[in-house]
Amino acid sequence: MVSFQLESKHNPTVPTGEMPQAMGRIDIFTTRPDTIYGVTFMTLAPEHELVDQITTAAQKDAVEAYKIATAARSERERMADVKTISGVFTGAYATHPLSGEPVPVWIGDYVLAGYGTGAVMAVPCGDERDHAFANFFAGQEGMPEIKNIFEGVDISEEAYTPKDKTPLCNSDFLNGMSYKQAMYTAIQKLEEIGAGKGKTNYRLRDAVFSRQRYWGEPFPVYYKDGLPQMIDRKHLPIELPEVDEYLPTEDGAPPLGRATTWSWCTQENKVVSNDDDRDCVYPLELNTMPGWAGSSWYMFRYMDANNEDEMFSAEAQEYWNNVDLYIGGSEHATGHLLYSRFWVKLLHDLGKVTVEEPFQKMINQGMILGESAFVKELEIEVDGKIEKRFISQGVKAKDLNIKSGRKLHADVSLVNLQNELDMEAFKVWRPDYASTEFITAEDGTFKVSREVEKMSKSKYNVVSPDDICDQYGADTLRLYEMFLGPLEQAKPWNTAGITGVYGFMKKLWKLYHNDAGFSVSEEKASPDSMKTLHKTIKKVQDDIENFSFNTSVSSFMIAVNELTAQKCNSREVLEPLAVLVSPYAPHIAEELWSLLGHKESISEAPFPVFDEKHLVESSKTYPISFNGKMKFTLDLPVDVSKDELEKMVLANEKVQQQLEGKTIKKAVVIPGRIVNFVF
């Protein structure tokens, strides 16, 4: 925050020396105090409260006209219209707090009243909007030459916006400093002389709390003489009315506008028919609340769902606290999390909840995306008439007089794996294009272009998992989705690798079967098989904790491959294995569980307990490296000291070969990990 004193000598409406403090200065907010010496002019939002007071008589008409023109445009319009530059000089000058030079004060609609203080210090050499503004009004009264404060940078064409190490110049005590250093130094100096203050600016946008939909909580609000009135709490809740269709009315009112019983009687204090023409009956609000009106706090209601007296009891909330884990789509990452946290913080401040956050842990799982197919459509001129053509991907349209082109979504079911479109099927699908000519490649095929997008009916890229289910079963589909990659990552749906998962399912089944059918031995399992089992228990247990389901699936594959190679057929291993697999592939696991002779569901079976003893080994394969590069491995005993280990390694023939004629500077021996010789 920097304060600029207004110069009274340039401001004839206020007598010299009598300017009140509040009127006498303009406070501005900037994130670039380092550019303070680049200030060429100032711009106020047209709505700024000082505008009327500081405008000189000569500029009064122009300023008034500009204010009226601006007021006619909505903020949305002003934000959307980035190109048009407009503004007016007020005639007033302020004094630069450090250099003491006069700074002309303008108004312009690129400055928004709602942000910061509604006023900016304009530094054309370092801000593009200021640069554009200065150039647009260059040479006019009140628009001085642009001040350049960046050493060796040409700012005649555009502003220099990077915050890098470019040293400052023409900046008095900031000369030679880079962005960061200058920023802190400038703030310090401004605070010293009382012309500014370091400040962190937080911004919370307003969000509209209403929707023009049917399905939402109705507002307990009625309108008396056009003014909204709250319905008293004791008459709540009011419930959604019946409507004939969940659509807006013909004249554009929200769906509640269709209700015939949607008026409020202030005597009976209930919802009555719209035909009720008594004086105490008023129309109810037609908007409903947005989704997050409920989604921001519903988890607390779940804790005490049958409570008729309040949102939830303090006891219930204290018992359940907050949500341990929230898994939702990544589109929730900003919206839901933001609103929900905001509400819970408010509820906490009101003393309604003991927690400050809604969720202890939140995971946004990635979306499965679709691969859309696009047909390129051209509008070309033929004999003075505009005609449409489809052109295959990769075909050059050199002899055509192209007027315009666009991409049209094609249904992905009409396209084969080589991206070739079934043109006849396309014409049937889109009869409106039945007569449009296709420009194909030389081999007569028509190729579409592909793009990864959200799956959506309107993009015609929806692939149904039903086909996969029919062909491979629900377990395979489930496993494959997990196997595709990390939970939090969005990925296009691509079934190319599904045979790998399907193969795993078949191999798993085979472990429990021989040629004759189901067959499991009651004999003790081999130490190797026990090792495989317990290695897998540990891995899967850790993976579940970390939501790393893709690596669980691969560890199952490894286990099944190893057990197959070991010809393991023992109940001691296969029974816990089925339990391990059951959360991932419940159907096959349940089936195996039943074949193993169990009457109850596998979901009732306890999770196998990991036992370290099966993983204990007498030797470890050590990587032996020289100067940090691994050359070979050696199997060495585990239960020896560091010194013994070093001796054993040094005694090895291959190690001696590597070290021949060299002096060891350092030997790094870390038991259980690695051996490294530096020479």
Partner RNA sequence: GCUCGAGUGGUGGAAUUGGUAGACACGUUGGACUUAAAAUCCAAUGGGUAGUAAUGCCCGUACGGGUUCAAGUCCCGUCUCGAGUACCA
Ranges within 2-31 binding RNA (CB under 7 A): 28-31
Q: How far is the CB of 440 from RNA (least distance, A)?
A: 26
Of the candidates 336, 460, 450, 445, the one whose C-alpha atom is nearest the C-alpha of residue 392 is: 445
**Stated length of the chain:** 679
Sequence-separated (6 or more) residues with CB below 8 Å from residue 195: 2, 3, 97, 98
The token duo for 212 is 């023009």
DSSP assignment of 270-320 equals EEE-TT---TTEEEBP--B--THHHHTTHHHHHTTTT-SSSSS-HHHHHHH
Nearer to RNA, 205 or 398 (CB): 205
Q: Is the peptide bond before 255 cis (omega within 30 degrees of 0)?
A: no
Q: Should residue 146 be labelled a site residue for RNA when binding is judged by CB under 7 A? A: no
Q: How far is the CB of 438 from RNA (least distance, A)?
A: 29
Site string for RNA, 561-600 (x = CB under 7 A): x---------------------------------------
Of the candidates 637, 643, 640, 612, the one whose C-alpha atom is nearest the C-alpha of residue 622 is: 637
Q: Should residue 548 be labelled a site residue for RNA when binding is judged by CB under 7 A? A: yes
Of 91, 97, 104, 116, the one binding RNA (CB under 7 A) is: 116
Degrees, nearest 5: CA angle 75-125-105: 55
Piece of the chain touching RNA by CB under 7 A; list 225-233, 270-278, 518-526, 627-635: 627-635
Of 46, 118, 218, 290, the one binding RNA (CB under 7 A) is: 118
Token look-up 């040479």 returns 139
DSSP 202: P
Of 60, 129, 407, 409, the one binding RNA (CB under 7 A) is: 129
Nearer to RNA, 380 or 557 (CB): 557
Q: Should residue 140 be labelled a site residue for RNA when binding is judged by CB under 7 A? A: no
Nearer to RNA, 29 or 438 (CB): 29
Nearer to RNA, 247 or 678 (CB): 678
Nearer to RNA, 633 or 656 (CB): 633
Q: Should residue 496 be labelled a site residue for RNA when binding is judged by CB under 7 A? A: yes
Number of residues that bind RNA (CB under 7 A): 74
Nearer to RNA, 270 or 673 (CB): 673
The residues pairing with 128 across neighbouring beta strands, listed in sequence order, are none
Nearer to RNA, 123 or 380 (CB): 123
- Tally of CB atoms within 10 A around 266: 17
Rounded-to-integer distance, Cα 139 and Cα 136, Å: 9
Q: Should residue 554 be labelled a site residue for RNA when binding is judged by CB under 7 A? A: yes
Q: Should residue 631 be labelled a site residue for RNA when binding is judged by CB under 7 A? A: yes
Q: How far is CA 459 from the centre of its chain?
A: 21
Nearer to RNA, 529 or 625 (CB): 625
Residues 310-369 that bind RNA (CB under 7 A): 330, 333-334
Q: How far is the CB of 197 from RNA (least distance, A)?
A: 14
Piece of the chain touching RNA by CB under 7 A; list 61-69, 73-81, 276-284, 308-316: 73-81
Of 139, 192, 203, 661, the one binding RNA (CB under 7 A) is: 203
Q: How far is CA 601 from the centre of its chain?
A: 40
Q: How far is the CB of 491 from RNA (least distance, A)?
A: 5
In contact, 511 and 592? CB cutoff 8 Å:
no
Of 257, 283, 473, 486, the one binding RNA (CB under 7 A) is: 486
The residues pairing with 378 across neighbouring beta strands, listed in sequence order, are 389, 405
Q: Should residue 504 be labelled a site residue for RNA when binding is judged by CB under 7 A? A: yes
Three-state DSSP at 631 gives strand
Q: Should residue 503 be labelled a site residue for RNA when binding is judged by CB under 7 A? A: yes
In contact, 279 and 291? CB cutoff 8 Å:
no
Nearer to RNA, 22 or 496 (CB): 496
Q: How far is the CB of 123 from RNA (least distance, A)?
A: 7
Three-state DSSP at 403 gives strand
Q: Should residue 287 be labelled a site residue for RNA when binding is judged by CB under 7 A? A: no
How far is residue 611 from each of residues 22, 101, 289, measured CA to CA in Å? Answer: 76, 80, 54
How far is residue 255 from each of residues 216, 217, 224, 263, measured CA to CA in Å? Answer: 11, 13, 21, 15
Of 106, 326, 343, 483, the one binding RNA (CB under 7 A) is: 483
Residues 657-676 that bind RNA (CB under 7 A): 666, 668, 670, 673-674, 676
DSSP assignment of 344-375 equals HHHHHHTTS-S-S-SBS-EEEEPPEEEEEEEE
Piece of the chain touching RNA by CB under 7 A; list 14-22, 169-177, 345-353, 494-502: 494-502
Rounded-to-integer distance, Cα 178 and Cα 163, Å: 8
Helix (DSSP H) and strand (DSSP E) numbers for the chain: 20, 25
Q: Should residue 386 be labelled a site residue for RNA when binding is judged by CB under 7 A? A: no
Nearer to RNA, 206 or 522 (CB): 206
Nearer to RNA, 4 or 504 (CB): 504
